[in-house]
Structure 1
Amino acid sequence: MEVYLEGKKVRLDPTRSLGKGGEADVFDLGDGRALKVFKPPEHPDYQGLPEEQSAARARLDEHQSKLPAFPKVMPARVVVPQTLATDRRGRTVLGYAMRKLDSVEPLRRFSDPAFRRGGATSARVVEVLRGLHHTLEAVHGSGVVVGDFNDLNVLVTGNDAYLIDADSFQFGAFLSAVFTERFLDPLRLTGTMATSLSPGRPASPDSDWYAFAVALMQSLLCVGPYGGIHRPRAPTPRATPAARVHQRLTVFHSDVQYPKPALPLVTLPDEMLHQFHRIFVEDTRGAFPAQLLEGLRFTSCPSCGLEHARLACPTCSPHAAAASTPVSSVRGQVSATRLFSTRGVIVHACAEDGVLRWLYHDEGAYRREDGRAVLHGPLDPSLHWAIQGDVTLVSRGGELAVLAPGHAPERFGLDAPEGRPALAANTRHRYWAHAGGLWRDGAFGPERIGDVLQGQTRLFAGPRFGLGFHRAGNLRGAFVFDATRTGIKDGLALPWPSGRLVDVECLFEGSNAWLFLAEETNGRTVHHCVVVGMDGSVRASAHAEAGDSSWLGSLRGKCAVGDVLFAATDAGLTRVELKQGKLEAIRDFPDAEPFVDADCRLLMTRSGLTVVRRQDISGLRMT
């Protein structure tokens, strides 16, 4: 596809891709601007998807009149179309140039318990949402409705939140046709028995403020109004996710089990909790009360480290439950033994040849399992960690530091697609992508293993082999490589999702790589599991809707042993087996429920299955 901007042809260089959404690809123009190009019906992401192709055609048709009519005056923290991109004749709008934001995180990250543990404080969340509140007020003051307000359409740089995807805004005669289910105002729904959610009424300022309240709740508590597990008393059946919305079965309902990884409700003041209840249970609408945000102040408990906005720590009160697993505990067929605990936060853990290793932050420093400090400073969520024996690897942006005992730090450059370092390690080597090459540390310095797409490659490695992939512009591809030899095998035919990739995890066990992908598509978050063999073949795949309480309802909390996967949920453990090209849930271990949750880390060590949580590590035994 040929794209012209200001009369000049623009080369859509995949190596300058800034991101991929469900409807468009975004490229860095190199002059402080980004170029958003709408996916045409023939885009590879829509191959074999006639409904998606039809929707793409309809979007392009509407943009021919909508984008030229876009409001000229908008708040400063809205990323608006600046210059339209067209075909060679200048007659067909294909996209637009806009301001490029640097060092950004989607607001969605602030609802991730791991990101919050890493140092994204509640005080920062409040500051970000205060600014977003002002911006949303100003947008409505301009006669515009966001329509599809969600946590991926808000980018945060520093403490400033910016609204993006302005082409989907609602104004004049142009209604907003897109939506995200988690942020969809139930008052826009029609009917009561739907198995899926779809609006029957147009978006409005009230529906924007409902979505803002969802974003605020998620960012403060790491759970939205319809999180958790619906567990009614028999014989009442469990409600579907859509039915929960229609019936207002929120986390405030007595039949809903509150998710374990989330921050406790009682960390918020009663006034804020009552406002959430009014919005999500009682259907109160209108602008979110600004005074609740302006008066919100958090403090950290000096005893347990919990951030709260109460007069006293709600978990350290005389009647509060213990925050960590007892030294030894038994429930039915499962016993747990605490191996480590800290008043700080465990930020990374792994098992190397069955040996458990971890990194935690306590007393102003990042420390290894033996207590030695490897880096002094406060918690920083922008740091990414890996472990290789006694060596600790830390990266931020495009720089990697190798912290080895008794040696000065070594520094290397590496790619960081969408802010995530292209770095992996096993007991023998570390691997990274940089300047179009895949590299490995060798006896005489870095060794080039093969060629990869510059600036766009995600990378993972296990004891025997590694896996990498890229999705940029019209290009998508994957490869495997041997852990010790040079060369890569590319051209893998993976079952790629077509939507926006929002999270990735990968586990290695023997000759298998278990790849987990979270995709935002058609207003929903869908999780995929793809089992890839050493030869690059796809041995099995499965998918599930995020938060559906199944073994694939979350990406984390997984551990592979041969062709068996153990998956942790808030209800316990599930054993999943790879059989004849299918992934089947074989057995549940509900007795493990007190010791695991959907956000924990599961590792197989020499002493058995090991559970890593926010402040403790425990060994499990099942009979």
Structure 2
Amino acid sequence: MDVYLNGKRVRLDPRSSIGKGGEADVFDLGDGRALKVWKTPDHPDYAGQDAEQRAAEGRIERHQDKLRVFPRALPDQVIAPVELATDKARKHIVGYAMRLVRGAEPLLRYGEPSMRQGGLTAAAASEVLARLHRIVDGIHTCGVVIGDFNDLNVLVAGGEAFVIDADSFQFGPFLCQVFTERFVDPLLCDPSLPRPSLARPYSQGSDWYAFAVMVMQSLLCVGPYGGVFRPRSAAARVPQCARPLHRITVFDRDVRYPKPAIPYQVLPDDLLEVLYRIFVKDQRGVFPRRLLESLAWTRCPACGVEHARASCPTCASAGRSIAGPAKESAAARGEVVATRILSTRGVILAAAVGAGGLAALVHEDGRFLREDGSVVMSGAPHPAMRFAVHGQATLIGRGGELVVLSPGAAPERVQVDCVGTRPVFDVNARARYWARGGQLLRSGRPGAAALPCEEAAAVPLGEVLAGQTIFWVGPSFGLGFYRAGNVSIAFVFDAERPGIKDTVKLPFPGGKLTGATCVFDADSGSPPRKGRGRAWLFLAAEQAGRTVHRCVVVREDGAVEAAADAEAGDGSWLGALTGKCAASGFLLSATDAGVVRVEVRGGALVEARQFPGTEPFVSQSSRLFVGPEGLFVVDAQVITLLRIA
């Protein structure tokens, strides 16, 4: 497809794609600008979706007049249209050029516990929110309402906030007609409907409501309606999605507060009172910025929790250092015996189970430590870093560089592709894998001594789309995909031999893809027998105003064996993308209520068994690993071994 900027043809190359939303594709123009092109009704992403096709047609029609009179005096941090993209005749608007923000993450990431564990501080989150407050205030001063204000249309780069998707702003006669369930003001919704749905026009008050949601999510890693509602009376139950309509928040005594979330008691009383009045008592108005600017965060020296109070509200006793005893007494609960094998007042960044047992990387007291207490290096983690342990080697990726640190050897540095801010690499027990410049590469065996050997031993496995491909690798095969413009390709590859099979018919969910992860199982033989492996792929997407999770099971030959969907945060085994591992043909999923076993039966994914005795030892964000000794549960500060009868 070709579009025109100021009469000059611009060819849309998938290799320059930098974003794919539910309504548009975004491309890098190479001159400091990005080009947003709205999806037309015949876009492949809308195939077979009549409602989405009609919505696309109406959206493009509305923009024909709206974009020609778009406000020009908005704050600099609003990524607004700077030039309209048209057809060749310059009569039909198909999108627009805008300033490109590089190295940015959506504010959505600030609400993920992994970001806090990876180095994001509460103070940094507070500063971003205060800056965002000024932007919202400036937008309102121009007589504009953001409308569908959510954590995907706020980008953060270098500590600065930017508001994107400006074409959906509300001004003059042009109403915003789209919404996101987690952020839409319930006062604007029809209470008679089964779930939130926009029924009245947005206002400045609804923007501040959405801002308050972002404050709560960014500071506590949970939104106002997170957790699971478990009332004593069956008659009082309401669907999870309907809780905003009934103002059933995390402050309700019948709501199970999510285990991975930060306890709300870390916030000062005046900020908690404002959040309570907004979400429970329907108070609206400008959010008091002083409450964000006056936050004085400190980290408890005993438990490591950040709080903004005079004393730590959650700490009962000092945490045990990684240098302490390796094992503690086992605890039994029903059919489960739990043994704590590692504890730190810092944070556990990565873990793996291999032939040598459990390996882990911990950050504590300004040092990166391995499971035996040996020091890898000094410094602090950064949210943009990715970590992996590979035998005795420690892998740290940031930007386009992967550094491999091995005992007694010089650091190896390997250039890798990035998708967004994510360096693209993975490991299995036998090798390292990375994408670079349109190739998928595999290293030699663990322990390669120096960079020349690592690079010389790199084996090309096949061609992929440069800068767009993400992948994962298991014991015997890997799975990956890339999506750019009109192109959506999924593939499998052998973990040892060159060759990529890019004909996997992966059922991507509609809407904007916001998260993806994958775990593998294999035949219980060692080494695993070829052809017996499965990949369990987990995808999150913003779809029709809500977040949908999809699990797709892909066999080693690329055949899709089963799939299942759930809504984010519904308390089911698929309510979170995290907390998964697979072994010998089944999946184990950690939930806040305990571990669940899931199996493939007749092309469907079936919850085969629950293990309620595991409930005290896991959460939905726990990392799970199956080893010969049992099930390893890796949390932010503790690793526990579970033996389940």
Show CA shifts across 1:531-557 (max 9, x none). Answer: 111100001111100001110000011
Q: Take 2:153 and 2:122, find their aligned partners in 1: how far apart are those partners?
A: 21
**Which of 514, 521, 544 is equivalent to 1:522?**
544
Q: Take 1:253 and 1:394, find their aligned partners in 2: how far apart are those partners?
A: 41
Show CA shifts across 1:361-420 (max 9, x none). Answer: 012111111112222101211111122211111111111111111111111111111121
Q: Contact 1:567 / 1:573 at 8 angstroms: preserved in 2?
A: yes
Q: Take 2:336 and 2:547, find their aligned partners in 1: how far apart are those partners?
A: 32
Q: How does 1:119-268 map to 2 (within 5 A)?
A: 119-192=119-192, 194-236=193-235, 238-268=237-267
Shift of 1:572: 1.1
Structure 1 stretches lacking a partner, 5+ long: none
Q: Match for residue 482 of structure 1?
A: 494
Q: Match for residue 314 of structure 2?
A: 315
Q: Match for residue 507 of structure 1?
A: 519
Q: Contact 1:315 / 1:321 at 8 angstroms: preserved in 2?
A: no
Q: Take 1:13 and 1:402, find their aligned partners in 2: how far apart are those partners?
A: 34
Q: Match for residue 79 of structure 1?
A: 79
Shift of 1:97: 0.4
Shift of 1:503: 1.0
- Three-state SS of the structure 2 residue aligned to 1:183 is coil
**Which of 608, 611, 618 is equivalent to 2:640?**
618
Q: How many residues align?
A: 621
Tell me whether 1:385 sits opposite 2:394 in the alignment.
no
Show CA shifts across 1:503-551 (max 9, x none). Answer: 1111011110111111111111111101111100001111100001110
- Three-state SS of the structure 1 residue aligned to 2:235 is coil
Moved more, 230-239 or 301-310: 230-239
Shift of 1:79: 0.4
The amino acid across from 1:99 in the alignment is R
- Taking a change above 3 Å as real, the CA distance of residues 322 and 414 of structure 1, as seen in their structure-2 partners, is closer
Q: Take 1:535 and 1:435, find their aligned partners in 2: how far apart are those partners?
A: 26
Q: Take 1:345 and 1:481, find their aligned partners in 2: how far apart are those partners?
A: 34
The amino acid across from 1:315 in the alignment is T
Q: Match for residue 581 of structure 1?
A: 603
Show CA shifts across 1:433-471 (max 9, x none). Answer: 111111111474212111111111101111101111101
Moved more, 138-147 or 293-302: 293-302
Shift of 1:232: 0.8
Q: Contact 1:424 / 1:431 at 8 angstroms: preserved in 2?
A: yes
Q: Match for residue 464 of structure 2?
A: 452
- Three-state SS of the structure 2 residue aligned to 1:592 is helix
Q: Contact 1:354 / 1:604 at 8 angstroms: preserved in 2?
A: no
Shift of 1:498: 2.2
Q: Match for residue 38 of structure 2?
A: 38
Q: Match for residue 419 of structure 2?
A: 417
Q: How does 1:312-391 map to 2 (within 5 A)?
A: 312-317=311-316, 327-353=329-355, 355-391=357-393
Structure 2 stretches lacking a partner, 5+ long: 445-452, 523-532
Q: Match for residue 50 of structure 2?
A: 50
Q: Match for residue 100 of structure 2?
A: 100
The amino acid across from 1:263 in the alignment is I
Q: Take 1:337 and 1:618, find their aligned partners in 2: how far apart are those partners?
A: 6
Q: Take 2:637 and 2:25, find their aligned partners in 1: how far apart are those partners?
A: 40
Shift of 1:488: 1.1
Q: Take 2:233 and 2:215, find their aligned partners in 1: how far apart are those partners?
A: 34
Q: Contact 2:429 / 2:475 at 8 angstroms: preserved in 1?
A: yes
Moved more, 489-498 or 249-258: 489-498
Q: Contact 2:63 / 2:93 at 8 angstroms: preserved in 1?
A: yes
The amino acid across from 1:434 in the alignment is R
The amino acid across from 1:583 in the alignment is L
Q: Take 1:234 and 1:201, find their aligned partners in 2: how far apart are those partners?
A: 33
- Taking a change above 3 Å as real, the CA distance of residues 148 and 326 of structure 1, as seen in their structure-2 partners, is farther
- Three-state SS of the structure 1 residue aligned to 2:590 is strand
Q: Take 1:262 and 1:344, find their aligned partners in 2: how far apart are those partners?
A: 17
Shift of 1:243: 2.7
- Three-state SS of the structure 1 residue aligned to 2:443 is strand
The amino acid across from 1:362 in the alignment is E
Q: Take 2:321 and 2:375, find their aligned partners in 1: how far apart are those partners?
A: 25
The amino acid across from 2:469 in the alignment is T
The amino acid across from 1:361 in the alignment is H
- Three-state SS of the structure 2 residue aligned to 1:278 is helix
Moved more, 385-394 or 101-110: 385-394
Q: Take 1:358 and 1:269, find their aligned partners in 2: how far apart are those partners?
A: 35
Q: Take 1:394 and 1:83, find their aligned partners in 2: how far apart are those partners?
A: 40
Q: Take 2:229 and 2:81, find their aligned partners in 1: how far apart are those partners?
A: 43
Q: Take 1:309 and 1:91, find their aligned partners in 2: how far apart are those partners?
A: 55
Shift of 1:196: 2.2
Please give the root-mean-square deviation of Cα atoms over the aligned residues, in Å.
1.7
Show CA shifts across 1:174-207 (max 9, x none). Answer: 0001111000101001133x22220111100000
Q: Take 1:45 and 1:375, find their aligned partners in 2: how far apart are those partners?
A: 45
Q: Match for residue 64 of structure 1?
A: 64
Q: How does 1:433-444 map to 2 (within 5 A)?
A: 433-442=435-444, 444=456
Q: Match for residue 571 of structure 1?
A: 593
Q: Take 1:591 and 1:438, find their aligned partners in 2: how far apart are those partners?
A: 42
Q: Take 2:644 and 2:414, find their aligned partners in 1: how far apart are those partners?
A: 44
Shift of 1:9: 0.8
Q: Take 2:219 and 2:210, find their aligned partners in 1: how far apart are those partners?
A: 14
- Three-state SS of the structure 1 residue aligned to 2:270 is helix
Shift of 1:331: 2.0
Q: Take 2:479 and 2:256, find their aligned partners in 1: how far apart are those partners?
A: 37
Q: Contact 1:569 / 1:596 at 8 angstroms: preserved in 2?
A: yes
Shift of 1:355: 2.7
Moved more, 412-421 or 82-91: 412-421
Moved more, 590-599 or 34-43: 590-599
Q: Take 1:423 and 1:568, find their aligned partners in 2: how far apart are those partners?
A: 25
Q: Match for residue 619 of structure 2?
A: 597
Q: Match for residue 553 of structure 1?
A: 575
Shift of 1:323: 13
Q: Take 2:606 and 2:112, find their aligned partners in 1: how far apart are those partners?
A: 28
Q: Match for residue 270 of structure 2?
A: 271
Show CA shifts across 1:470-527 (max 9, x none). Answer: 0111101011111111111112111112211111111011110111111111111111
Q: Take 1:491 and 1:431, find their aligned partners in 2: how far apart are those partners?
A: 21
The amino acid across from 2:601 in the alignment is K
The amino acid across from 1:21 in the alignment is G
**Which of 465, 471, 478 is equivalent to 1:466?**
478
Q: Take 1:323 and 1:186, find their aligned partners in 2: how far apart are those partners?
A: 46
- Taking a change above 3 Å as real, the CA distance of residues 327 and 525 of structure 1, as seen in their structure-2 partners, is farther
Q: Contact 1:531 / 1:541 at 8 angstroms: preserved in 2?
A: yes
Shift of 1:321: 12
* TM-score, normalised relative to structure 1: 0.97
The amino acid across from 1:332 in the alignment is G
Q: Contact 2:320 / 2:344 at 8 angstroms: preserved in 1?
A: no
Q: Take 2:355 and 2:511, find their aligned partners in 1: how far apart are those partners?
A: 36
